[in-house]
């Protein structure tokens, strides 16, 4: 049985881990999975550990070893000279887990002192960072969201409500498109009728010419349609290619 002093130290370290990571660890042996250390290092050096590769909830030693290998890789990248007695820790040895927890705690506090004595963790949400997984050596599960955090059902309801709003908006847009097509076809028919009416006259009067002018009027930079050009040409009087010479009677009439 472990001495009382070691039990008290272990209890203190467990409380510290729970506060830092918002976890629910009960015994120092639960740190044997290595998951808590991975996130504590991520808390010190954000994104230094690929938390998506860490198995936070597992009772398999192979997963424990993998977590510690991830931790060792991060230690090496950061230049942290901490050795891990992997074989004994992953098997849940109380003494080895306590010793390593003490070393890690000492290292953590030294980093804090180097940053002014207290680590600023206001922008760090430990539960969100680990996707609300429990840090446990039990059956894999997800943490129950506490008050102030939306549950999966609440989030699903919000998504469904937003989906319904989008469907209503899409329906309104579709109806608007139908209305616009109907209006377009209506005015197009009117314009077609005006064009036929104007072209139906053998002699195009001024009103018909004005209608055609409006029909084929374009913005600057756009050429007139071929039909409009033909219509304007037809409406203008054509010169006689073979004019007849005036007769004496015509000359007399003009003098009168």
Q: What is the mean pLDDT of the chain?
A: 78
Q: Mean pLDDT, to the nearest integer, of 223-230?
A: 50
Distance between CA atoms of residues 3 and 228, nearest Å: 106
Distance between CA atoms of residues 92 and 32, nearest Å: 6
Confidence of residue 70 (pLDDT cuts 50, 70, 90): very high
pTM (whole model) above 0.85: no
CA angle 61, 20, 2 (to 5 degrees): 55
Phi-psi region of 243 (alpha: psi -120 to 50; beta: other; left: phi over 0): beta
Give tens-digit pLDDT for 132-142: 999 988 644 44
Give tens-digit pLDDT for 45-54: 999 999 999 9
Give tens-digit pLDDT for 207-216: 666 666 666 6
């Amino acid at each position: 049985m472990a001495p009382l002093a070691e039990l008290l130290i272990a209890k203190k370290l467990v409380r510290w881990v729970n506060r830092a990571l918002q976890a629910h660890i009960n015994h120092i042996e639960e740190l044997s999975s290595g998951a808590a250390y991975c996130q504590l290092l991520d808390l010190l050096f954000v994104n230094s550990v690929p938390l998506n590769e860490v198995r936070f909830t597992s009772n398999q030693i192979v997963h424990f070893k993998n977590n510690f290998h991830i931790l060792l890789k991060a230690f090496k990248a950061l230049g942290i000279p901490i050795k891990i007695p992997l074989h004994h820790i992953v098997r849940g040895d109380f003494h080895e887990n306590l010793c390593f927890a003490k070393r890690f705690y000492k290292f953590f506090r030294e980093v804090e002192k180097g940053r002014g004595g207290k680590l600023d963790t206001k922008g760090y949400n430990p539960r969100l960072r680990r996707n609300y997984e429990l840090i446990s050596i039990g059956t894999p599960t997800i943490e129950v969201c506490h008050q102030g955090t939306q549950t999966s059902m609440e989030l699903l309801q919000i998504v469904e409500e937003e989906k319904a709003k989008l469907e209503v908006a899409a329906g309104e847009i579709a109806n608007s498109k139908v209305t616009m097509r109907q209006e377009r076809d209506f005015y197009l028919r009117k314009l077609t009728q005006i064009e036929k009416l104007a072209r139906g006259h053998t002699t195009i009067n001024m009103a018909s010419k004005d209608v055609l002018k409006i029909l084929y009027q374009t913005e600057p930079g756009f050429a007139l349609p071929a039909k409009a050009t033909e219509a304007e040409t037809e409406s203008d009087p054509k010169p006689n290619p073979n004019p007849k010479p005036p007769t004496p009677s015509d000359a007399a009439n003009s003098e009168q």
